[in-house]
Structure 1
């Protein structure tokens, strides 16, 4: 899968333009029956957060985060999430930002060449811990 501004190919599958690991992880999450969101608001939020906080993490560490949809206040949610992740010192966090449940996990000892920040927007009924577990196992090769 490739991501391209939230568009979908003719089969309805999301189109990814980013890192191969990200597409691989999204496929694993989808095969677990979890539907991720790839609408314009979700993609802008994820891309903005990633661009803002990527330099805050060393090369052998990644930050994974999930946000529930719908995102009613994307600019405020993005700004709050950026502040949270830049100052992130714990291994895991779960809180609500502007009505959206946010979960974040720091992952150490990631494979070489892996993106340092990855985000996923999902529906409220999806299990964010499962999303983070699947992503972490891909990043660490376990």
Structure 2
């Protein structure tokens, strides 16, 4: 019985440290930094890129967006899906995440500066 409990504990611990993935396969060989995108967002508009960053915030209502920060800058870049397409866990905050998708203009209220976001087709949240 003790061995069974230890085995179950080991399995549970291993499952907690596994990466969480959403969407299609993600190729991490050609990463674009968050700082690069934010420095020149129009360059990436309507293009597919893969970014890496630290999750700084997660939507607490629908879990439909996260913000990623780069080690190179304190700026944050938002990734956003249609509600329910991917459900980002609150536990992602502070973890490294990879996201592949298309850079789009983030619709905002009139009179505000234009902003950009990534509409992802794949996301991986590392342990």
Same fold (TM over 0.5): no
The interval holding the TM-score normalised by the smaller chain is under 0.3
- Structure 2 length normalisation: TM-score? 0.26
Larger radius of gyration: 2
Q: Which has the higher strand share?
A: 2
- Structure 1 length normalisation: TM-score? 0.24
